[in-house]
């Protein structure tokens, strides 16, 4: 079954193969050694055991930094509300499995290398080849170093794949937020359009009502003008003479009906605005038709 690290496994195999070839060539030129040199190699072997322990401790420390709830990875999940999610648990499990495998591989390789090292020390003792044992020691140190580097490569890949998944989640969350904003904007635009359409309908109704009121007012003013003319015709002769004199003084004064016919009614719409009338002859503004007629000294009778 593929583990997803075939390329790294191939790299490790190539490195081991090169080290083995190097070892073989070096063994061809190794000289005999003395017992003192063998004892020195045993002391170096103890140092290698300590180095192996240090390596495994380093692996554990790296694992704790990744899997600890206060570690950078777990805090990032917690900040995004995924601290107690199945995804967080899966991440911890994956990190733990990777750590266990790396430790196991390190110990197994260390035991294999120590067994191989012991065998080479025995050969060196038997053959008196200190250089052969020293070569084995150096190769062992290189292999331990390569194991640590390979573990770091695995960790970097895990982090890269993890970041890819986090980026996908972030992109999905952004898309959901964006889609929701678009939906809200559409609803808001629809509501504004409904308000605008409703206001247009209300303006039409208001204009119609105003036109009806204006027509009625104009009609009433015409009736009042007619009644006023009737009363004037029944006045005394003295009043008729006075009226005649007044009309001659006013010159080209328009009749009440002409004033009404040339009157313009302006209906202002908006807060604090009101309708008014404009004299078609002078262009002056008046609050209503009665004020306009009064300016010509025409007075309506209610």
- Give the tens place of pLDDT for each residue, 251-276: 578 888 888 888 888 876 666 677 78
* DSSP letters for 136-167: HHHHHHHHHHHHHHHHHHHHHHHHHHHHHHHH
Q: Say what the pLDDT of residue 247 is.
A: 47
Look at residue 43 in the predicted model and tell me its pLDDT: 78
Q: What is the mean pLDDT of residues 177-201?
A: 91
Average pLDDT over residues 211-221: 78
> Residue 74 — pLDDT band, cuts 50, 70, 90?
low
CB 76 within 8 A of CB 166: yes
Q: What pLDDT, in 10s, does the model give residues 86-130?
A: 555 666 677 778 878 888 877 777 777 677 767 767 766 677 666
More confident site: 74 or 150: 150
Retrieve residue 269's tokens: 């719409």
Largest CA distance in the chain: 165
Interatomic CA distance for residues 249 and 244, integer angstroms: 9
Structure tokens at 279: 């004299």
Question: CA-based angle 3:4:7, to the nearest 5?
Answer: 110
Query: Quick check: helix, strand or coil at residue 84?
Result: coil
Terminal CA-to-CA distance of the chain, rounded, Å? 107
Which range, 39-48, 146-155, 212-221, 274-283, is most confident? 274-283
Q: Report the predicted TM-score, pTM, of the whole model to 2 decimal places.
A: 0.30
Q: Tell me whether residue 221 is exposed, middle or buried, using C-beta atoms within 10 angstroms of its C-beta: 0 to 12, 13 to 18, 19 or more.
A: buried
Name the β-bridge partners of 285.
278
Render pLDDT for 146-179 as a digit per residue (tens, 0 to 9). 778 777 877 787 788 888 888 989 899 999 999 9
Question: DSSP E strands: which ranges in 238-290?
Answer: 264-266, 276-278, 285-286
Find, among 28, 20, 35, the residue nearest to 112 by Cα.
20
Q: Which two tokens stand for residue 290?
A: 């009665």
Using the predicted structure, report yes or no on whether residue 189 has a pLDDT greater than 90. yes
Cα–Cα dist 12/122, whole Å? 27
205 and 198 Cβ atoms separated by less than 8 Å? no
What is the residue-wise DSSP string for 22-81? HHHHHHTTPPP--HHHHHHHHHHHHHHHHHHHHHHHHHHHHHHHHHSTTSHHHHHHHHTT
DSSP β-bridge partners for residue 264? 278
């Amino acid at each position: 079954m593929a583990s997803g690290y075939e390329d790294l496994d191939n790299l490790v195999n190539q490195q081991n193969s090169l080290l083995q070839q190097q070892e073989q060539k070096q063994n061809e030129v190794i000289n005999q050694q003395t017992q003192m040199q063998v004892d020195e190699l045993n002391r170096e072997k103890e140092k290698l055991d300590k180095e192996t322990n240090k390596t495994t401790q380093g692996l554990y420390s790296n694992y704790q930094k990744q899997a600890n709830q206060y570690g950078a990875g777990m805090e990032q999940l917690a900040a995004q509300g995924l601290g107690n999610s199945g995804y967080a648990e899966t991440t911890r499990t994956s990190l733990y499995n990777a750590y266990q495998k790396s430790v196991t591989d390190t110990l197994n390789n260390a035991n294999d290398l120590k067994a191989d090292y012991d065998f080479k020390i025995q050969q060196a003792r038997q053959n008196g080849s200190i250089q052969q044992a020293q070569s084995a020691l150096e190769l062992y140190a290189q292999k331990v170093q390569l194991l640590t580097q390979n573990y770091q490569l695995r960790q970097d890949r895990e982090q890269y794949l993890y970041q890819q998944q986090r980026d996908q989640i972030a992109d999905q969350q952004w898309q959901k937020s964006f889609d929701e904003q678009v939906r809200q904007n559409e609803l808001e635009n629809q509501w504004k359009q409904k308000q605008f359409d409703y206001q247009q309908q209300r303006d039409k109704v208001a204009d119609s009502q105003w036109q009806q009121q204006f027509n009625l007012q104009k009609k009433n003013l015409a009736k009042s003008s007619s009644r006023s003319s009737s009363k004037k015709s029944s006045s005394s002769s003295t009043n008729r003479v006075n009226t005649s004199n007044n009309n001659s003084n006013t010159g080209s004064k328009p009749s009440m009906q002409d004033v009404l016919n040339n009157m313009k009614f302006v209906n202002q719409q908006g807060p604090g605005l009101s309708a008014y009338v404009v004299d078609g002859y002078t262009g002056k503004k008046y609050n209503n038709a009665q004020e306009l007629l009064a300016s010509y000294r025409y007075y309506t009778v209610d």
